Amino acid sequence: MQLSQYHNQDVKQRVYEALEKAKALQPKLNAIVSFAQDIEEQLEALKQIPKNAPLYGVPVVLKENVNTKGLLTTASSRILSNYIPVYDACIVEKLKAAGAIIIAKSSMDELGMGGTNLSAYSGPVNNPYDLSRISGGSSGGSAVLSAADVSALTIGTDTGDSVRKPAAYNGVIGMKPTYGRISRYGIIPYASSLDHVGYFTTSIADAAVALHVLAGRDDRDMTSSYREVPAYETLLNSDLKGKRIAIIDNVQNAIKDDAILANFNQLIEQLQKRGAIVEHVSLNEQLLSVLLPTYFIIANAEATANHSNLDGIRFGMREDGESVEEVMRHSRTAGFSTNIRKRFVIGSYSLFVENQDKLFRKAQKVRRLIVEEIKTVLDQYDITIASATGSIAPHPQDSVDEKLSDTYLIAENHMIMGNFSGYPSITIPCGFVQGMPIGVSLMAKPFAEQTLFDIGLAIEEETGLRGQIAEVEA
């Protein structure tokens, strides 16, 4: 459903219909960790909100790492299995002020560390187009619920491509705005220099409305921007005449699926017919081949520092021990999965004083070189474009988070560039292969979200996929 389709519905009816649909689909999708218990209180509070508020009465699903007062927030990790926040995240405040009703919290890869949504404490999330395939992650639960038409707006976070890749796998729009465009106050972090709040919709118009609602300065998040927030939805313009678009050849050359390449090439032809100036660029191949290792070092080092407070002492689950140190060791061993513990070991190793220069600081220098490479291109073009993924959503046994083949390193990880740079990036559905959705990824200059929406609208008009949803039988 799109936001415009809510206008003629009774508010209470629409909220409970969304809630019941989410519950009915839960056995098949396994996309929700907890349902809101205060629906009636939220509906009562809605009486104080103007009826012309942009999200008036719209049911919204939050990723499980968004703090919500009084509602379980586990980040899909056992160590937070009893954590109930005492405050709302900034985006929750903004959503409610805009009239939204929070109906549920969605599953994610544990603490956001993964790209499959197979590692959640509550179990794997299934793709609504083929329940035997993965949703992608780490924001897979929210992506699936958007694709399955539970809500017109679902919230995710994006540290590597955790909104944009699930969007491609599930045939929805996944938006990651500029770093600092949306406050992260109240978001359980993964890697502070890479984390972005993002979201899913099924139309560009809704994506524009959502950013207008969510963006803005928040003094509780010192990385949030003071820049004025435009009314993106009123400025939408799909005229492509003179728009300069750069195809990232490194990505397209790394993709081996002929059907994905053919779909991409057809879309490019359509954009050219609308007046876009499309040219090919090649980034430094050596830099692109180290995107994943560089990300892995920086993200895990920052995660190790950010999650040092999950120790079984201050909050979260606790395992008994004969000393404080033993309680902490037992709690972290029982509370984290093997994969998370492995990441913390790597992060700690990178932060050892004797290793910082040869690992962490070197990774930061490589990151800077990658960002400079992207900036050079975007100084000459309005956007870059590439296939979002090199394949359709895989089956669980075929999915990986970190694979070191040349094809995988570039075709499946190029969207990390949007996190390294902080530049805005969006994934837009562009067709189907073997009955599964695929998407394209766009990136623009800092705070040029309007450019992404405008060109995205033209793509949406060409594909005819506005409002596309998956029909899942309950």
Residues classed as catalytic: 63, 138, 162
- What is the dihedral sign for C-alpha 63, 69, 71, 73? positive
